[in-house]
Amino acid sequence: MEKELKPLLKSLARVAGLLWQKGWAEASAGNISINLMGLVSFDSQASPEEIPLLTPRPELGGMSFLVTAAGSRMRDLAENPERGTGVITLSNDGAGYCVSWSGAEGFRPSSELSSHLAIHGLLVSRGSDYRVVLHAHPDELIAISLVKDFQDPEKLNRLLFSAQPEVGVLIPEGVGFVPYTLAGSEELSRATAEAFRNHRVVIWANHGAVAVGRDAEEAFDLMDILNKAARILLLSGKGQWV
- Positions annotated as catalytic residues are 112
Secondary structure class of 141 (helix, strand, coil): helix
Q: Using an 8 Å Cβ cutoff, are 86 and 1 in contact?
A: no
CB-CB contact of 8 with 66 (8 Å): yes
- Residue pair 6/82 in contact (Cβ under 8 Å)? The answer is no
Phi, psi of 34 (to 5 degrees): -135, 125
Angle at 85 between CA 210 and CA 99, to 5 degrees: 105
Give the DSSP letter string of 37-85. Answer: TTT---GGG--S--EEPSS--GGGTT-EEEEEBTT--HHHHHH-GGGGE
CB atoms within 10 A of CB 154: 9
How far is it, in rounded angstroms, from Cα 69 to Cα 45? 18
Beta strands in 103-229 (DSSP E): 132-136, 176-178, 201-204, 208-213
